[in-house]
Amino acid sequence: MALISPSRRLRRTPFSQGVEEAGVRAYTVYNHMLLPTVFESVEADYHHLKNHVQVWDVACERQVELRGPDAGRLMQMLTPRDLRGMTAGQCFYVPIVDETGGMLNDPVAVKLAEDRWWISIADSDLLYWVKGIANGWRLDVLVDEPDVSPLAVQGPKAEELMVRVFGESIRNIRFFRFGVYQFQGHDLVIARSGYSKQGGFEIYVEGSEFGMPLWRKLFEAGEDLQVRAGCPNLIERIEGGLLSYGNDMTDDNTPHECGLGRFCNTHTAIGCIGRDALLRVAKEGPVQQIRPIAIDGDAVPPCTQFWPVFAGGRPAGRISSAAWSPDFRTNVAIGMIRMTHWDAGSRLEVETPDGMRTATVREKFWM
């Protein structure tokens, strides 16, 4: 494995000092920012995440902030999800599509007020698309990247840790809702959300200067809970079916291909830029779709490019994410599979760098 070269361009985060003190071993780059990927080992981190509580530096989930009278209109232009029923205090997972229906990002939209939104983005410069649209359509809205860095607290003991720092009322936050809490006299948006299936919260740390004080406070409060620095875990997120933009889908794919049809209300999402392009696929369904796939045999190597998938020797799709799951004793994977072979139980062949492997489409992800 190669090293990562340090530079200003790969931005540090308000929590980088804590991450380094915790002994980070590997990084990836996400939204031009360092995202830790390994502390002890991917497998050790995985077991710990499923049993205890971790604090994750996910500052790389940058925000695109929309402010002004046209903020709501602009937000609806970006997504085929109907936002009319969304109230301030809610978070919505929203596919963002271009005029062809191709996915540009799959962020979480945070509605702070009617005229103020954060879009908590996956790995692409969504800011550029949103600014371009706002400019071209002459919308009365300010679009920028604020100094907001999410810190996630994830794992079965996450709620207990958060209660110790922010008080009992944290328990009242429902899934994909947020509340505003105080830290050192400063307001912080805290949502029940996160990029794992182990439960937890995301703290939107507004003001970099609060980063390390909050990091330290969480570690002090959670010592007996065995709190550790962690990060989105490759194995756990594949088991949980959490997609990764840039890995599992790109602008080549519609939300429907990604299995995100349930987040699209294409018929009623009036104003969505990709609406016309998506109406047909929304009605008829896609011809390929993301599926959970179990790959037979020993642990597969890292998936660094699409692995072709075949059925009876003919092309049937591709694998985009894969890892050995210690808990399920198989390789868990995410792939885009053609309609003819996407039914659960379908037998496939996967061309891995180690050679052909047999594989099976699963009914659902491993959860």
| DSSP H or E stretch at residue 181 | strand 178-183
Tell me if residue 71 falls in helix, strand or coil: helix
Q: Which range of residues in 58-66, 87-95, 238-246, 282-290 is near its own copies by CB under 8 A? A: 238-246
* DSSP designation for 317: E
Q: Tell me whether residue 2 or residue 367 sits nearer to its own copies (CB atom).
A: 2
Q: Does 133 bind its own copies (CB under 8 A)?
A: yes
- Look up tokens 């003190």; give the residue: 21
Q: Which of 93, 306, 310, 365 binds its own copies (CB under 8 A)?
A: 306
| DSSP H or E stretch at residue 64 | strand 63-67
Q: Does 88 bind its own copies (CB under 8 A)?
A: no
Question: How far from chain centre, in Å, is Cα 44?
Answer: 21
Q: Does 212 bind its own copies (CB under 8 A)?
A: no
Q: Does 76 bind its own copies (CB under 8 A)?
A: no
Q: Tell me whether residue 183 or residue 306 sits nearer to its own copies (CB atom).
A: 306
* DSSP designation for 245: B
Q: Does 328 bind its own copies (CB under 8 A)?
A: no
Q: Which of 41, 135, 182, 226 binds its own copies (CB under 8 A)?
A: 135
Q: Which of 121, 148, 235, 273 binds its own copies (CB under 8 A)?
A: 273
Contact call for residues 36 and 132 (beta carbons, < 8 A): no
> Is 168 among the annotated ligand-binding positions?
no
Q: Which range of residues in 86-94, 242-250, 261-269, 275-283 is near its own copies by CB under 8 A? A: 242-250
Q: CA angle at residue 48 from 44 to 51, to 5 degrees?
A: 145
Helices 158-166 & 211-221, crossing angle to 10 degrees? 120
Contact call for residues 227 and 315 (beta carbons, < 8 A): no
Tell me if residue 340 falls in helix, strand or coil: helix
Q: How many residues contact its own copies, by CB under 8 A?
A: 53
**What are 307's strand-pairing partners?**
319
Q: How far is the CB of 274 from its own copies (least distance, A)?
A: 10
- Look up tokens 């400063």; give the residue: 186
Q: Which range of residues in 22-30, 80-88, 184-192, 309-317 is near its own copies by CB under 8 A? A: 22-30
Contacts of 137 (CB under 8 A, 6+ apart): 74, 77
Helices 126-136 & 71-78, crossing angle to 10 degrees? 120
Q: Does 4 bind its own copies (CB under 8 A)?
A: yes
Q: Which of 304, 313, 329, 367 binds its own copies (CB under 8 A)?
A: 304
Q: Which of 161, 191, 303, 336 binds its own copies (CB under 8 A)?
A: 303
Within 13 A of 204's CA, how many CA atoms are on the CB side? 31
Q: Which of 66, 119, 121, 126 binds its own copies (CB under 8 A)?
A: 126
Mark residues 215-234: x for contact with its own copies by CB under 8 A, - for none: -------------------x
Residues of this chain that bind its own copies (CB under 8 A): 1-12, 24-29, 32, 37-38, 98-99, 104, 123-138, 234, 244-247, 273, 302-306, 320-321
Question: Which residue numbers belong to the known binding site?
Answer: 202
Question: Which residue numbers belong to the known binding site for substrate?
Answer: 202
